[in-house]
Amino acid sequence: MVKISEVFKNRKWQIAVANVLVIAFIVTLILTANAATSNEPIDDSVRDGNINFSSVYVSVGGFIEEDIPNIITTYEQFRRMIRLNDIWNISAIHSEDLDVIWQPDQINNYLQRYNRNFFRNNSLIVFTIVSSSGSARYQVNSIVRQGSELEIKGTRFMPANPNLIMDNIGYWIILSEVKQSDVVGVTRIINGVWDLQFINEEDN
């Protein structure tokens, strides 16, 4: 009967055992690395804080369809929103650095910017406002992320001269352009504080 100790004294056996141990060690390292990569939770706190954005303000001449997602991530979602709200019912578009667009063909041309290429890396945060006066104008000042929530804060502008305040209802769809990576995992949009600011006619 051959003793196990004598077998391991054989050099060929020593080399074979050493190779098996090396291979087992390498496999263990690979499996451990894969497990750490696939099971590692996403730390939302890394993305918490102020989000960079650029807002466009769409004035709708009538009823706003309520079935609009808070965050639009695809071109198909955007086109559906436009169809539901009828592009020809959009009366004006403006932004902080854009003159007001009134003509339907100009509005249509401007909205072409939200194409499939745009949604490859960007998303739209959609916020609708039904105002008690058509004279009101709005500006988003900040979008702050906290975990899975976004809080939007802004300013509501009204004419300082009460004679210039219209009593008709105003409908607005605010589109805030953001990076897709900044809103991954967001499930709730919070309507934060909107400051009221009165402006003189000459300030418009």
Residue-wise pLDDT tens digits, 143-168: 999 999 999 999 999 999 888 888 88
- Nearest Cα to Cα of residue 157 among 203, 107, 99: 203
CA distances from 2 to 7, 9, 10, 16, 17 (A): 7, 12, 12, 18, 18
pLDDT over 60 at 30, yes or no: no
Which residues have C-beta within 8 Å of that of residue 168, sequence separation ≥ 6? 133, 134
Cα separation, 166 vs 134, in Å, equals 6
Alpha-carbon distances, residue 118 vs 68, 95, 106 (angstroms) = 19, 18, 19
- Mean pLDDT calculated for residue range 43-59: 74
Q: What is the pLDDT of residues 58-109, one digit of tens each?
A: 888 766 666 577 899 999 999 888 776 665 578 888 876 657 887 878 888 8
Distance CA 8, CA 187 (A): 62
On the question of pLDDT at 27 being above 50, the answer is: no
SS3 98: strand
Q: How confident is the model at residue 45 (pLDDT cuts 50, 70, 90)?
A: very low
SS3 111: helix
Mean pLDDT of 41-59: 70
Q: Is the pTM of this model over 0.85?
A: no
By CB neighbour count within 10 A (0-12 exposed, 13-18 middle, 19+ buried), where does 78 fall?
buried
Measured in whole angstroms, the distance separating CA 185 from the mean position of its chain's CA atoms is 9
Q: Which H or E run includes 6?
A: helix 4-9
* Percent of the chain topping pLDDT 70: 67
Q: Are 148 and 184 in contact (CB under 8 A)?
A: no
